[in-house]
Amino acid sequence: MKKYFKDEAESIVKATMPFDTKAVIINYLLENALGHENAKPWNMIDLALKVEGVNISKAKFQQTILKDSRKSSMFIGSNDHGIAKGYFIINSLKDAQVMLDWYKKRIKVETERKDHLELLITESFK
């Protein structure tokens, strides 16, 4: 049976070497940031990881573990506003909706920027 979100995160941790960076980070999120209401900002995650001997930059985390999670069944959520500010493991429909709403807002803003650039191109290069 296919596993999703929390169950998939737990499977990844079990299938990975205990001190592997990915396992340590996912395990931290499972224990401390399960659900959007428990989202943790990067500075808290970073501090906890350093205590565990893991040194990873926010950019490296975003470009590897976060990015990879969004192509898998685990999907680490993130949000930059409201009560869910930070990173979290999706554990409920509400958690998934928070992330989906974030994407919709982001896509709307990026679409407006794209439309503006297209207008500038049309006006500038007639």
What Rg do the C-alpha atoms of the chain give, in angstroms? 17
* 65-80 pLDDT, tens digit each: 999 999 999 999 998 8
C-alpha distances in Å from residue 17, one per residue of 6, 22, 26, 115? 18, 9, 12, 47
Domain boundaries, given as residue ranges, for the chain: 5-124
* 72-120 pLDDT, tens digit each: 999 999 988 777 789 999 999 999 999 999 999 999 999 999 999 999 9
Question: Which residues, 6 or more positions from 40, have their beta carbon under 8 angstroms from its beta carbon?
Answer: 29, 32, 33, 86, 87, 88
